[in-house]
Homo-oligomer: A and B are copies of this chain.
Amino acid sequence: MTQWTLDKIQKLDAEDIFAAKRDEFFLPEGLIYLDGNSLGALPRAVAKRLQEVTEKEWGGSLIAGWNVHSWIDLPSRVGDMLAGLIGADPGEVVLAESTSINLFKALTAALQAGPKRGTILTEEGNFPTDLYVLDAIARHSGGAVKIKRVAAAALEENLTDEVAILCLTHSNFKTSRKHNMAALTKAAKEVGALTVWDLSHSAGAMPVDLNGCGVDYAVGCGYKYLNSGPGGPGYIFVAKRHQDKLDPVLAGWMGHIRPFDFSGDYEPADGILRQLTGTPDVMGAAALEAALGVFDNVDMAALYRKAQALGDLFLDLVLESCPELELGCPRNADDRGSQVTLKHAHGYAIIQAVIAKGLVGDFRSPDVLRFGFAPLYNSYTDVWNAAAILAEVMDERVWETPDFQARKKVT
């Protein structure tokens, strides 16, 4: 029997070192938002900054904004801020395009820099876009590249000397299972393979130590735990040792060593700037810059401990009160990202019903219910109430109600 009481919960909130951070976000009244793993909440600083960039900088300075407001430096300036959150050095990260495009860049770079072997190893169940990017590279390689997908547990044994690249997402989008980045990167190195890590579900949610682990390339998005807004720019990390060897497959004028010479001949920029292609997305980069300000002085280890505690609390409460829900993520918090996963054949109906009651989680086909914990704006009381709402919905067996059955027919 769980020993949790509302008193204990409220005491945790009272002692929470991140409690004041919640006021830095705009959160709709009465909503319990456990979906920051899909789209982070709006930091008040971002709303303010976007208005400023639009009206004052673009509206007021027009083309001069590129210089007087240093728009031109945004990809690397915000990249350097981000570097601090993921264990990279300044000059190793830039903002650019989306995770998908950055992953393509990282993989085509790694294929140049790595050993001349044909296999890229990845996880069965990796995020779809990662698998699609990988498969497209293989399809267009004229047979030179082969993608090998194996279960998470079989990764190490499949790290053979046929593997050129190990390409993984740090924390799985469905199961939340967290890979041991240090161990897998080391194992890859031992067979001479390079690593490409997708941090979309881990950056901003837990400590990430790319250089400490010896990672070669990494990518990720800004709109989940980093709270930069729907579909803003992603980022790419290239370890210093690989930066200048690269001949980018995706070249563009912002990756030129002197873009404002408008030379007809491509001479790649030194360092990480070589990863840039088109004109930077100023709005999106400024949003991420302001969003990262919220992480100032945040101890990522403490933040992750709170995420783990929130997840454990949720599972303690839910698994006891809702025996029909199956655990879909590791029970041990050290093996998880910042989300927990439950499974139920009627998962879609359950998520619709909890949303109607003011608890936002999400559903992933065919039977996955996801609840993400963002320690900067989620409280222990949120979790207590979320568990209560979920229990209520399970008690009501919403998927059997005429309302839901009727709705189901329509959609």
A26 to chain B: which residues have CB within 8 Å? Answer: 55, 59
Instruction: Pick the contact of A281: B129, B253, B284 (CB < 8 A).
Output: B284
Q: Does A207 reach chain B (CB closer than 8 Å)?
A: no
Q: Does A221 reach chain B (CB closer than 8 Å)?
A: yes
In the complex, the answer to whether A278 meets B51 with C-beta atoms within 8 Å is: no
The docked-state distance in angstroms from the alpha carbon of A281 to that of B279 is: 14
The docked-state distance in angstroms from the alpha carbon of A263 to that of B280 is: 31
Instruction: Pick the contact of A132: B47, B62, B253 (CB < 8 A).
Output: B253
In the complex, the answer to whether A62 meets B28 with C-beta atoms within 8 Å is: yes
A278 to chain B: which residues have CB within 8 Å? Answer: 97-101, 129, 221, 231, 234
Q: Does A7 reach chain B (CB closer than 8 Å)?
A: no
Q: Does A232 reach chain B (CB closer than 8 Å)?
A: yes
Q: Does A54 reach chain B (CB closer than 8 Å)?
A: yes
Interface size class of A (residues with CB under 8 A): 35 or more
Nearest Cβ distance between residue A140 and chain B, in whole angstroms?
5
8 A Cβ contacts from A264-302 to B: 264-266, 277-285, 287
Nearest Cβ distance between residue A220 and chain B, in whole angstroms?
11
8 A Cβ contacts from A118-133 to B: 124-129, 131-133
Q: Does A39 reach chain B (CB closer than 8 Å)?
A: yes
Q: Does A250 reach chain B (CB closer than 8 Å)?
A: yes
Q: Does A154 reach chain B (CB closer than 8 Å)?
A: no
The docked-state distance in angstroms from the alpha carbon of A59 to that of B247 is: 41
Q: Given known contacts A54-B47, A253-B129, A281-B284, is B229 in contact with A266 (CB within 8 Å)?
A: no
Q: Given known contacts A39-B63, A54-B42, A140-B249, is B100 in contact with A277 (CB within 8 Å)?
A: yes
Interface centre among A223, A250, A255 (most CB of B within 10 A): A250
Chain B minimum-CB-distance residue to A61 = B28
Q: Does A360 reach chain B (CB closer than 8 Å)?
A: yes
A260 to chain B: which residues have CB within 8 Å? Answer: 365
Q: Does A197 reach chain B (CB closer than 8 Å)?
A: no
Nearest Cβ distance between residue A377 and chain B, in whole angstroms?
11
In the complex, the answer to whether A131 meets B266 with C-beta atoms within 8 Å is: yes
A312 to chain B: which residues have CB within 8 Å? Answer: none
Instruction: Pick the contact of A38: B63, B233, B252, B355 (CB < 8 A).
Output: B63
In the complex, the answer to whether B135 meets A266 with C-beta atoms within 8 Å is: yes
Q: Does A216 reach chain B (CB closer than 8 Å)?
A: no
A285 to chain B: which residues have CB within 8 Å? Answer: 231
Interface centre among A139, A223, A260, A283 (most CB of B within 10 A): A283
Nearest Cβ distance between residue A111 and chain B, in whole angstroms?
10
A46 to chain B: which residues have CB within 8 Å? Answer: 54
In the complex, the answer to whether A59 meets B47 with C-beta atoms within 8 Å is: yes
Q: Does A364 reach chain B (CB closer than 8 Å)?
A: yes
- A-to-B contact residues, CB < 8 Å: 26, 28, 31, 33, 35, 38-39, 41-42, 46-47, 50-51, 54-55, 58-60, 62-66, 71, 97-101, 104, 124-129, 131-133, 135-136, 139-140, 149, 173-174, 221, 223, 229-234, 247-256, 259-266, 277-285, 287, 355, 360, 362, 364-365
18 residue pairs of the A-B complex, CB under 8 angstroms, read: A28-B62, A33-B62, A39-B63, A41-B59, A50-B50, A64-B360, A100-B252, A125-B264, A128-B253, A128-B262, A132-B253, A133-B251, A173-B262, A174-B262, A221-B279, A230-B280, A231-B283, A284-B284
With A128-B263, A132-B252, A231-B284 given, name 16 new contacts (CB 8 A): A28-B59, A28-B62, A47-B51, A50-B51, A64-B360, A71-B231, A97-B101, A100-B252, A100-B278, A101-B250, A135-B266, A136-B266, A229-B282, A230-B279, A234-B278, A283-B287
